Structure 1
């Protein structure tokens, strides 16, 4: 027997006895000063290898119930049980489960195989499996979900065609299965798919769930009868209350007993959904033909009928797990589940950094075009300011180069928001499944973003600096490059922070653009005598203030700019006060320009350090934003 087969055998042994149940689960929120009940006294169970469908019309409480059972929301009342033992901490459920969101949050430039392998390695860092065993498990999961034929295909980006919508759904589910959970929660796994694709997706899920003894709970909306029949049980909700719980084949007889027989050639799933949906029907509008039945669309009457049904006969929601008195009263996580939840941050950072490097190197739309933008900007600036004369009359033109390099390169940082929002969506999915936390994500993202920004800044600088003819000498060039880079990096970290707080592209783009425009205004280049109000605070928290002064000092220090006219003819005119006139030279020194601008007291080391502190502040705030908002 191979090592991976032994691992699978161990996993199956652990799963064979799993029975997950819940009793009288309720959830309410404060609304206009009173409690609004979203879920009320919902009970049920699911066993290893079974699939439970949570159904109901829009607003029935399906997703809320799923989140409550998955430990993502705290129950107002009620209990959940694992193998008959009561769960006291929601985190215990999260340790043994995976949750698949409705949206397919995937990195488009990764292949199907790479996506699942990265997910597997992050999920199973402390499982005791070797990397080769984890990769083998990932490949087996890909094959089990019918994705072997597209394993080497990329997921797809706006400019590169990828796999189909149904294949993306199966890929997202594969990321959940590969973690070897005992429980798998699926939020609308067939939403947006045609009936054929939906059936294929759920058939694949059922197959893997049975093979690996995984209990599956899925919210579904309008399944065909073929798809509906794949489930072992269904929980029908309306208005947060239970309308029915049982096997698919029991749906028609139960509602027929309430005076609503399923019409010929009608899907029982559609029939029961129509009966409890009151969005378009009025209570009591359609009375049943059978005397003593329940009016269609009357959710309260259906809920009361179900309650009477559970009291007058064997309650189908009663879990078989609860009858074994040998079970401990309270659930305690096994060593295996504790091991799975342990975090190895260094390994997480390494895996996330590798994945980010692949993403950056392949994503032409997000990163290739950005690099091209900086190169194009360098060519444009170089051509507009080409061979700038080193004279007093052109000092303001020289200052404008430094302003433009700081302000507009910083403004271009908003181009990084779309790619980050894709990364953030993946982070939300993976962090909620306990694969890693905000610290590992922040560090890994920083380790890849900073070198990428340096490449962009270098490409711009090496073109523009020498084409313009700024201060000659390698030392001055590398100083200028370093200071531009610090400004660009600070701007990038600011944009990413905004996108982390407000993960809506148009909104984060608008705020970042406004903020960069504000920094340009209070930086001091356009208006050197700023009003005291802006000078006292805004000017000194502006990254552009420090970057601009550093560029000016790096370039101007040690240069001499000849002025117009002649001292002999007493026609010498300089734009800035000059200390060289007393020495008989009709010129102004770069140091004179620096002093006239009020930058003489600026320490280059201190200002560079302040830029680093600004970046560090943005990164810490970024971490906090992810921790608070996700």
Structure 2
């Protein structure tokens, strides 16, 4: 057989492998349909209720530093599942993945580039890669070294010319799709990992752009000795030839594994000859794609009537490969390769180090010793850095990036700020100079209800921007840059000032125009209580979006919940008249209950409202029971209103404490939701 086939990517002449995987099997329980069990006996139905569905079946292989492996196959072949297993994102049912000549696990020395480009659109290309470098390198790394690393990545990926251009948003055009792909790859390369996993790196790109992306990766793999494993669909010959080896899968089984140049020879040996003008990549995938098979092959499709395997016969192709592989490399050989490599005692070379760097190159890379974590939620502690300092550094960096994002994101935050200003103008022009009379008390109460309820309702506007940030979190956390704790802290720190600005502008615009309780002290208390309610509403919306990261679903649940809180907070129907079922739990966990109560007490306490009529004429009429009539005054105190509505049952201090507790609970649940999703 051809030498390219004999090697088959299973063993290496020098015994040094960047990654070795042995007998990988992944299966999931596949529940039988209810109908198929109705015609069985109860015992048989119970025994056969669950059957095993095999996603990957006994896959073995290896890759050395500097090599590129293309994982190919028709849809549903198991390409992404294998990539997830090799990268440590998914655990196999059996088998194991090892990193010979290294004491590290796979996740600590690798990076993963997902199919979609999860990037913040308002950041520039340079800023995007700079922040990735800042988050991944030790806190003690000098800024000059981070700048130098960023420049190197930009140069290696051909992004220098667009370094200061923004990524792009729906309302602001940015860089091209191919350039975004290279930025995503650059974010994963700032630590110069030993292994780079790519999920469909050419998806959605035209042929020329796809070739630009793959050729850039080819150059980096060769330059830095990075082992690259990529799933890829239908590459043309120019792209396919950039890879050293290919692994063809179908229904979770190996059909071919070896050098790209050995594809034609292998399938020709099975009776299938690739035409001179046919792309070998398309040729081999079409042979094992049985999605549209309608019986046997035609005479035009078959090279000879003695073809050993029929087109679309996945099992036949897989058995042919398995029989050949078993004669070349046995499982015992693979185990000896892995064990001997790990027990050799030779430390692995620094990540990204080249064969014999010059003294100048050595100096250049000294500041770039990568720091990775073995778990997304607990960053590793670099030498000389405590766990606290690492977490603090990540939090500060994320906060800084958030502030840049918020200050530029006109669609997400400029529009939100305009909404609060517009709402303030609306209240200022509808509720104008409310008189301190009994007949205007309900109007005054509606101001406080509207302020709490509708400003809280507007928190749903923060969901789209959070979902963008969440996609970046998933990419960076899965690449071990940081965990959910720094993200939660940074999100809290950067969100609070924005909400305070919105609350302040709203209050300044409408408070004095409406004619609420005069005095600077009551104004600032109004602002503080309103701000607390807005923060609670915002963190509730973010919690829902974290737990249900689908915009329509998060929007629907947030809208329903805010409407529910309006119903049970005590304005539309007094709390004493609420059905006991709702009163004893919903009313007391409603953040609007406490915000509304504090606003009303702050405004009404100390005010006196004149009633219609007079005591002398005997027609004094107040909207609420008055304690002043008995004292000879046809008026009522604000405290009388608070007491009649039973809003004074909770003091302002206690209400503020409970509202802060609700905010803290929302943040803790937010963190827990993110942590659960990152498992």
TM-score by length of 2: 0.87
Structure 2 residue aligned with 1:189: 201
Say which of 187, 198, 217 aligns to 1:205: 217
Q: Mean alpha-carbon deviation: is it higher for 497-506 or for 73-82? A: 73-82
Deviation per CA, 1:32-66, whole angstroms, max 9, x where unpaired?
Answer: 11221100111111111111110010000000000
Say which of 103, 120, 123 aligns to 2:133: 120
Corresponding position: 1:255 with 2:301: no
- Helix, strand or coil: the match of 1:92? coil
Q: Tell me: CA distance 1:331–1:562, structure 2 relative to 1, closer, same or farther (3 Å).
A: farther
Q: Would you say the 8 A contact 1:288–1:296 is kept in 2? A: no
Q: CA deviation at 1:19?
A: 2.2
Q: Tell me: CA distance 1:474–1:333, structure 2 relative to 1, closer, same or farther (3 Å).
A: farther
Unmatched runs of 5 consecutive residues or more in structure 1: 1-15
Deviation per CA, 1:294-349, whole angstroms, max 9, x where unpaired?
Answer: 10000000000101222344689977991884641899999989953215100000
Corresponding position: 1:400 with 2:412: no
Structure 1 residue aligned with 2:468: 422
Say which of 158, 178, 184 aligns to 1:172: 184
Say which of 512, 516, 519 aligns to 1:470: 516
Structure 2 residue aligned with 1:7: none
- Helix, strand or coil: the match of 2:397? helix
Deviation per CA, 1:602-623, whole angstroms, max 9, x where unpaired?
Answer: 2101101111000000000000
Q: Would you say the 8 A contact 2:463–2:545 is kept in 1? A: yes
Q: CA deviation at 1:522?
A: 0.6
Unmatched runs of 5 consecutive residues or more in structure 2: 1-14, 32-49, 352-368, 374-379, 382-389
Output the CA distance in 2 between the equivalents of 1:509 and 1:333.
Answer: 50
Number of residues of Structure 1 aligned to a counterpart in Structure 2: 610
Say which of 76, 80, 87 aligns to 1:63: 80
Output the CA distance in 2 between the equivalents of 1:150 and 1:339.
Answer: 28
Structure 1 residue aligned with 2:146: 134
Report 1:39-54 matches (<5 A): 39-54=56-71
Output the CA distance in 2 between the equivalents of 1:568 and 1:329.
Answer: 106
Q: CA deviation at 1:227?
A: 0.1
Q: Tell me: CA distance 1:318–1:189, structure 2 relative to 1, closer, same or farther (3 Å).
A: farther
Q: Tell me: CA distance 1:104–1:395, structure 2 relative to 1, closer, same or farther (3 Å).
A: same
Q: Would you say the 8 A contact 2:18–2:195 is kept in 1? A: no
Q: Would you say the 8 A contact 1:183–1:215 is kept in 2? A: yes
Q: CA deviation at 1:21?
A: 1.5
Structure 1 residue aligned with 2:653: 605
Output the CA distance in 2 between the equivalents of 1:335 and 1:231.
Answer: 24
Q: CA deviation at 1:282?
A: 4.3
Output the CA distance in 1 between the equivalents of 2:398 and 2:512.
Answer: 37
Output the CA distance in 1 between the equivalents of 2:620 and 2:339.
Answer: 103
Q: Tell me: CA distance 1:600–1:78, structure 2 relative to 1, closer, same or farther (3 Å).
A: closer
Q: Would you say the 8 A contact 1:246–1:316 is kept in 2? A: no
Say which of 606, 613, 617 aligns to 1:565: 613
Q: Would you say the 8 A contact 1:23–1:80 is kept in 2? A: yes
Q: Would you say the 8 A contact 1:84–1:322 is kept in 2? A: no
- Helix, strand or coil: the match of 2:647? coil
RMSD: 2.2
Corresponding position: 1:146 with 2:158: yes
Q: CA deviation at 1:354?
A: 0.3
Structure 2 residue aligned with 1:452: 498
TM-score by length of 1: 0.93
Q: Mean alpha-carbon deviation: is it higher for 605-614 or for 323-332? A: 323-332
Corresponding position: 1:26 with 2:41: no
Report 1:352-501 matches (<5 A): 352-501=398-547
Q: CA deviation at 1:129?
A: 3.5
Q: CA deviation at 1:92?
A: 1.5
Say which of 490, 505, 512 aligns to 2:551: 505
